[in-house]
Every structure is written in C-alpha cells, then in structure tokens.
Structure 1
Amino acid sequence: MTRETFTALDGLYHGYRPAADGAPVLVFANSLGTDLRVWDRAVARLPAAWGLLRHDKRGHGLSAARPTLSIESMADDLEVLLDHYGITRFVGVGLSVGGLIMQRLALRRPQAMTHLVLSDTAAKIGAPELWNPRISTVLSEGIASISDAILSRWFAPGYQTGEDFQMWRAMLERTPAEGYAQVCAAIRDADYTADLASITQPTLVIAGAEDASTPPALVKAMADQIKDARFVEIAEAGHLPCVEQPERFAELLRAHIGV
C-alpha cells in the first residue's frame, strides 16, 4: 500500500498519496484554526487505493506565512500543489474557509475537478461586525482569549465532554495569531454568492446539524444556488462533522463519488 508522504513545497506543508489503478484523488482544504490533521478520522475510513492531497493553509500548522492572505491566494497555493503532482482529475473537499477555497477551484479548474464537496461553509460567511473584533482581539490578546467561545460553536455539546476535546483546543490555540487573523480577514472580504450558479460539478453539501458557526440554514441556502447540489445534514455534529461523525462523513463521500 502506498503511504501518505509529508513534506513541504514553497513553504506549504502537505501530505500526498498517489491514487492506485485509476482511483479518485481527493484534494482537501480545511477550516480556520485547524491543520491537515482535521481530516485524519475521515481519511482513515476511505479506500486505501484513493489518492489524497491535504495541506496546512498559510499561517496554520507547519506552513510558512505570507505578508497577507486572501481566498484567491490560498487557492493559488493549492494550484501550486496540484501542478507539482500533475493532478489533472480530482475531487475537491472543502471545510469552512476550505469550502470558499474549493468554490474558487471549481471555477478555475472545471474540467479537472470532477466532483465537489462543501462542508459547513457558504459563499459568504459572516460580516465585518463579526470578524473585525475577532481579529483585533486575537492580535492583542491571543487566540486562547476567545478559544472557549470558538470551541463552543465548533462541536455538538456532547462531544465537548469527551476525552479528546482538549486536543482540538490545543490545535486551535497553537495556531499563530497572525495567520489566524489573516484568514479571518480573507473570510471577511470574500463573497462568492454571484458565482454559485456557475459551479457545474456534482456537489455534495454537508452541514452539521448543531453547527453554530455556519448554521444549516446558511449552508442549505448556498446549496440551493448550485445547479447540481445535494444537501445533507449530519446529526450530532457541529462545525467539524469530519471529526465528530467521520464514519458518516466518509460514507457520504464514497456515495457521492460513486466509486
């Protein structure tokens, strides 16, 4: 079995596993305040023959920072990785801000992206009145000063009493404040509502039923504007259903891709 190899390219820390025998390649983009490990549980439940490409966004995990970030520049970064590995056909899977990035790639590479999966995201997420105070607080007081509020919106209540909840707190609080703030600003400034009708890929849209960051109604409103979209709500999950309900998440991916 080919194993996932972790390395860096142009300052982007990432993991890559080539597909075997024509199996699909899944390209992942993860959420604000997490690194590529957010996909571990879902990836472990996918066929071993499937290819994988996942990475840490700039200013997150082990990836090098940039002076500024935007959704477009983060999509640029993913295109660098796609070209480096010669990936010409792939399934795009985006979580939260990763969903915004994948919406851009769906339009930039419509022939290469065969299927799209958008989880707990929207074409526009929040308003400046939400993001600007968060940016200011993180830069002046650190992420730990707001981590309780963020984590309460990430997970369904029952999950927060489990043994590994503190692991996600550590991942969030160890995200560099500058990188976190830059991605907050990128989300604040992005509005791709007008482009949703131009997405042509078969699209699976997932929402955690207890997501307080991107509530199911917001996620469904996005799905309703994509021509070939199916909306699914996952029970007992908040903003990160790939973490809380990885079996269900992987099952939906397998059914959507149809392989």
Structure 2
Amino acid sequence: MPVMTLFANEPSGRADAPLLILAPALGAPASMWDKVAALLATDYRTQTFEHFGFNGAPGVHETFSLGDMADAVVQLIDDSGVQKALYAGDSISGAVALELARRHPDRVTAVAAVCSSARRASDPSMAAMAAGVREHGMASRASYVADRWFAPGRKEALGPEIDALLESLSNADDETYARYIEALDKHDVGDHLNQIAVPVLSIWGEFDTGDAEGKMRFIAENVQRGTLVGIEGAGHLPPLEQPEAVAEALQNFFRAAE
C-alpha cells in the first residue's frame, strides 16, 4: 500500500473558521470549487487538493484503494491542525466522502457526496475503462467528458473554465487515472452504507447521466442520517456549473450538522 500524501493547495477563508475540504472530480482541477469556496469564505476555511497525476500532482503507479485516499484526507486534517473537518467531494471524491465517514467517523462532522455513486461488490466491472485509458490515452477520456458531463448551455456559458478542465484532463497521467478507476472498481461501500452514522448530504445534478438521482437517492436512503438534494441546470459538476445552489445546499446542511 503506497503512502498517500495529498497535493494540497493553499487554504482560503477565515483562519479561525471550521475546516471544509472540497475535493474535485477525477480529471477536474480543484479550481472547479473556487466559486463555491468564495461564497463560503465568511463561514469556513476551505481547503482543496489536486488528484494524483493532475495539475502538477505526482502520479501514482501502484495499486491503491479509496480507503487509502480517505486515510490521506485524515492526514490532511491532521496537517491543518484540527481534530475534525467537513468534507465535500464530487464524483470519485464523493465515494471518498463515504469511505471517510465509514472509516474515520471521529474525524469528520459531516460529509457531502456530489454526483457520485456507492459501488457494490456485485456491480459490473470497470476494468474495460481502465484498459481503454491505458491503450488510447487521456485524450479519449477528455472527448467523453466534453460530450457528457455538462448541462445544456453550460459549455457555452463556462467556456474558459471547461476548456481548462479538458486540457488538464488531456494532459493527465494515463497510468494514474487507470489506477483510480481500478480503485473505484474494487470499492464496495454500497454494501456497508448502513454503517455510516456521520450525516451525509447526497447531491445529484439534473442533467447528470446514468440514473444520477437514483444513485444519490440510494446513498441518502441507506446511510443512517442522509439528506438528498437535486441541483437544477447542472450535469456532473454542479460546483462548477451552479456554484450558488451548491454553496447554499452545503451551508444549510453543514449548519444543521454542526
């Protein structure tokens, strides 16, 4: 098992405020959360990190698990000098949110999973996706994201941000991305959601693909303290596409949980 040290950015917001870690989707830069962080800056000290193999973060070519990622988040909390934090993650980082709440309930006050899923051991294999990235490279993945991740009209409205995201994705380390997919493939937190007592906010985007609402409803209804919120006018990246609505949902939820 590799030692996972997250590639953290400088925190922002009030230094004396509760720590809120905002984690990006796999392939997206941490800046996808910038507008949400700015909206929450008066109430929280926000901390982001870059996924391995993206935006200057070193690659990881060894096998790792989402449990290892959750442990790395705890190390980030330790490094911030606090006992507990709040956490919100999009896509694969939402799966890390669930694993963090499951493995380390004493280190998080509440977590939010955005446009994610809780995979179960019986779910179809993702091995073909990992193999495709190794064979065809990240440019093929960037094309998929451009076509499927965003709500109608958002690519035009958010052109520079989305262009930067796609460039970041195209330049990412192929092997590291494949390792992430394999880690998600082996993740079985969906079989253990009833063990999670930490409050969980489950957010879905109106235009996200693949029964997004159903996946997030499954999480909200099977953890012990789940809340479901839908974000209109968003696809797979609501924090980038509809930051005001996401900030409001997080603020309302975290205030109730604290």
- Tell me if the contact between 1:154 and 1:213 (Cα under 8 Å) persists in the aligned partners: no
The secondary structure found in structure 1 opposite 2:234 is coil
Aligned partner of 2:248 in structure 1 is 251
Partner of 1:85 in structure 2? 80
Q: Deviations over 1:49-85 (max 9, x none)?
A: 5212211122232222232232122122222222222
In structure 1, the residue matched to 2:67 is 72
Mapped to 2, the partners of 1:229 and 1:253 lie a distance apart of 13
Q: What TM-score do the two structures reach when normalised by structure 1? A: 0.87
User: Residue 115 of structure 2: which of 108, 113, 120 is its match?
Assistant: 120
Structure-to-structure mapping, 1:1-259, within 5 angstroms: 12-17=6-11, 20=14, 22-66=16-60, 67-124=62-119, 127-128=124-125, 131-162=126-157, 163-164=159-160, 165-212=162-209, 215-258=212-255
Deviates more, 1:66-75 or 1:238-247: 66-75
Provide runs of 4+ in structure 1 moved above 3 Å. Answer: 9-12, 18-22
Cα contact 1:29–1:102 (8 A) shared by 2: no
Gaps of 5+ in 2: none
Structure 2: which amino acid aligns with 1:142?
G
Cα offset, 1:19, TM superposition: 6.7
Contact (CA 8 Å) 1:120, 1:211: kept in 2 or not? yes
- Corresponding residue number in structure 2 for 1:5: none
Other-structure match for 1:3: none
1:157-188 Cα deviation digits (max 9, x unpaired)? 21123333322211221221111111111111
Q: Take 2:91 and 2:139, find their aligned partners in 1: how far apart are those partners?
A: 20
How far is the alpha carbon of 1:207 from its aligned partner?
0.3
Which string of whole-angstrom CA distances, capped at 9 and with x for unpartnered residues, describes residues 192-219 of structure 1?
1122112112221100011015611111
Amino acid at match of 1:194: D
| Partner AA of 1:133 in structure 2 | A
1-side partners of 2:110 and 2:68: how far apart? Answer: 22
CA RMSD, Structure 1 to Structure 2 (Å): 2.3
How many residue pairs are counted as aligned between the two chains? 249
Cα distance in 1 for partners of 2:92, 2:238 equals 15
Aligned mates of 1:219, 1:29 — CA distance in 2: 17
Question: 2: distance between equivalents of 1:60 and 1:226?
Answer: 31
